[in-house]
Chain A
Amino acid sequence: MLKSLDPRVNRLNLPEQFEAPMASIEALDQFETYQAFVQLKEGKPFEHAGIVHAPNEEMAFLFAKEQYTRRGMICNALCVVKTESIMVSEITDNGQDVYDSFSGSFSEDDSASFEIFHLLKRGKQHKYIGNVKAKDFEDALLASKQLYPRTKPVYNVWVVRSEDILMSEPEDADLWNTLKEKQYREAIAYKAADKIKAFKEEQA
């Protein structure tokens, strides 16, 4: 048996040598990916935080909560969307507004509900802009173009059907109630200048 300095590893009873390489599996056990968006404070826009791998949306929510909102002093809400459910526009650069490339006019058909996210700077996060009612994805882009006037160029747009979003309920805001108590996760909790000073004085 492999002997480790880590008592946890010793409890795994690892063999000194594996007899064969790890069995390869036909299909890799890959889950779907979900995009997570976080709202730090009520009234602030949701921002894209990152992805999680999960087999379904409620597990994606469980995972995103700890991966993306376990630290910082505050968080108000979280939502997850299956990556597949996001319609992604073209991406532009160098001051070009991506909306300029959408031609046609909004159908005025408000039969479906969509949420719009903008990328305002390459390298930054997509931010939530608002809701539009439209016929389909393309139409939602046109509706958004009309509804949300822009002062700065938008480089990329994500469009999601509202029904495809799993969002924390307002009463779930208490999930983040004790964040500010978890100071041990923050750099600010580790001050020791006094100790160094005392030590130096003692040495001198």
Chain B
Amino acid sequence: MNTEGIKDLLYKMADDQLIIGHRNSEWTGFGPLLEEDIAFSSMAQDKVGQSYQLYNILNELGEADPDTIAFMRNADQFHNCQLVELPNGEYDFSLVRHFLFDTAELLRFQMLSNSSFEPLANLSRKIKGETKYHSMHANIWIKQLGSATEESISRLQSALEYALPFALGIFEPSSHEQDLINEGIFEGEDALKNKWIEVITAVINETRLSLPDFKSITPVYGGRMGKHTEHLQPLLEEMSEVFKVDPTSDW
């Protein structure tokens, strides 16, 4: 097994889930309606829970324990895509990011259900219901708001145009791509991106939103290599503020 490649894949996935879960949890108590506040919080919890399970697999491969990995690293050691670290903004951006990211999440875990790396295949199958709900939630919201009022349509359209270059950053290739493909561990970022474009396009086509030509967008890369926006380090400092008071004590 290609342990380096697997670790690389696990790190980027775990960091993605943790950071977006953290961001989405910021909405708790501030949501646009009570029911949605609850639903959005559940999905944030799912994501943080998934990141924990991914870090656990890493732990079994010899990496530090999940709390240490999550709470003690600096931004340049994180491998999440930049999309997930961006501030929440208003609900338009948060929803659009949820849609773009969670579509990729669903497809990635679907692909990994058949991975030759058993722990990841098992996890992917186990959380199938969670990712299905996330994607169902995102699609219904985008279809609703994307065809409702002038305001909602123009807000979503702007958010979409802002988020898309970052969203393409989800699929930043790693140096292990070919090895992972050859060993049947993961079909690769390119394959994922192509499926993702298909699904995104189908949903957007049911709304009054429009997608630019994907070829005209320059993806924002760097996140997978530890290059981040100015937003990640403060997020991590906030997240670990209490933990770092004494990282060795039991909280």
Interface residues of A (CB under 8 A from B): 7-8, 11-12, 31, 52-56, 58-59, 62-63, 65-67, 70, 172, 174-178, 181-182
Give the complex CA separation of A63 and B45 in angstroms.
16
Could you say which of B26, B88, B128 contacts A177, with CB atoms under 8 Å apart? B128
Question: Please, which residues of chain B bring their CB within 8 A of the CB of A58?
Answer: 140
A53-B35 contact, Cβ under 8 Å, with A7-B238, A175-B129: yes
Q: CB-CB < 8 A to A8: which residues of B? A: 26, 30
Given contacts A12-B30, A58-B140, contact A66 B38 (CB under 8 A): yes
CB distance from B177 to the nearest CB of A (A): 30
- Are B136 and A62 touching (Cβ within 8 A)? yes
Given A8-B30, A175-B132, A181-B49, check contact A67 B38 (CB 8 Å). Answer: yes
Within B114-164, the residues touching A (CB, 8 Å) are: 126-130, 132-133, 136-137, 140-141, 144
B33 interface neighbour in A53, A65, A177, Cβ under 8 Å: A53
**Contact of B128 (CB < 8 Å), options: A7, A63, A70, A174:** A174
Is B1 an interface residue when CB atoms closer than 8 A count as contact? no
How many positions in chain B have a CB within 8 Å of any CB in the partner chain?
A: 28
On whether the beta carbons of B128 and A182 are closer than 8 Å, the reply is: no
Cα A65 to Cα B38 in complex, Å, equals: 10
User: Once the chains bind, are A62 and B137 in contact (CB under 8 Å)?
Assistant: yes
Tell whether, in the assembled complex, residue A178 and residue B130 are in contact, meaning their CB atoms are under 8 Å apart: yes
**CB-defined contacts of B38 to chain A, threshold 8 Å:** 63, 66-67, 70
Asked if B240 is at the interface of the complex by the 8 Å CB criterion, the answer is no
Residues in chain A near residue B136, CB distance under 8 A: 62
Contact sample, A vs B, 29 pairs, CB 8 Å cutoff:
A7-B238, A11-B26, A11-B87, A52-B35, A53-B34, A54-B35, A55-B144, A58-B140, A59-B140, A62-B39, A62-B136, A62-B137, A63-B38, A65-B39, A65-B133, A66-B35, A67-B35, A67-B39, A70-B42, A172-B129, A174-B132, A175-B129, A175-B133, A177-B126, A177-B129, A177-B130, A178-B46, A178-B129, A182-B45
| Nearest-Cβ distance from residue B99 to partner chain A, whole angstroms | 14
* Docked complex Cα distance between A76 and B57 (Å): 29
Does B190 count as interface, using CB distance less than 8 angstroms?
no
Distance A177 CA – B226 CA, assembled complex (angstroms): 34
Give Cα distance in the complex from A44 to B172, angstroms.
48
Contacts of A172 in B (CB 8 A): 129, 132
Known contacts A8-B26, A8-B30, A182-B49; decide if A63 and B36 are in contact (CB<8 Å).
Answer: yes
Q: How many pairs of residues, A versus B, come closer than 8 Å at their CB atoms?
A: 63
Across the A-B interface, give the 7 residue pairs with the lowest CB-CB distance, nearest first.
A63-B35, A174-B129, A66-B39, A177-B129, A175-B129, A66-B42, A66-B38
Cβ of B126 to closest chain A Cβ, rounded Å:
6
In the complex the two chains form, what is the Cα distance from A54 to B88 in whole Å? 24
B141 / chain A contacts, CB cutoff of 8 Å? 59
Interface residues of B in 37-77 (CB under 8 A from A): 38-39, 41-42, 45-46, 49
**In angstroms, how far is the closest chain B Cβ from the Cβ of A88?**
23
Q: How far is the CB of A95 from chain B (nearest CB, A)?
A: 38
Contacts of B126 in A (CB 8 A): 177-178, 181
Choose among B34, B41, B127 the residue that contacts A178 (Cβ–Cβ < 8 A).
B127
Q: A66 CA to B41 CA in the complex, in Å?
A: 9
**Residues in chain B near residue A52, CB distance under 8 A:** 35
Closest Cβ of chain B to A57, distance in Å, is 11
Smallest distance from the beta carbon of B28 to chain A beta carbons, Å?
9
- A62:B129 contact, CB within 8 angstroms: no
| CB-defined contacts of A177 to chain B, threshold 8 Å | 126-130
Among residues of B, the one whose C-beta sits closest to the C-beta of A176 is: B129
* Shortest Cβ distance from A7 into B: residue: B238
Q: Give A5 Cβ to nearest chain B Cβ, in Å.
A: 12
Q: How far is the CA of A152 from the CA of B36 in the complex (A)?
A: 39
- A62 with B140: CB separation less than 8 A: yes
Q: Which residues of B contact A66 (CB under 8 A)?
A: 35, 38-39, 41-42
What residues on A are CB-neighbors of B132 within 8 Å? 172, 174-175
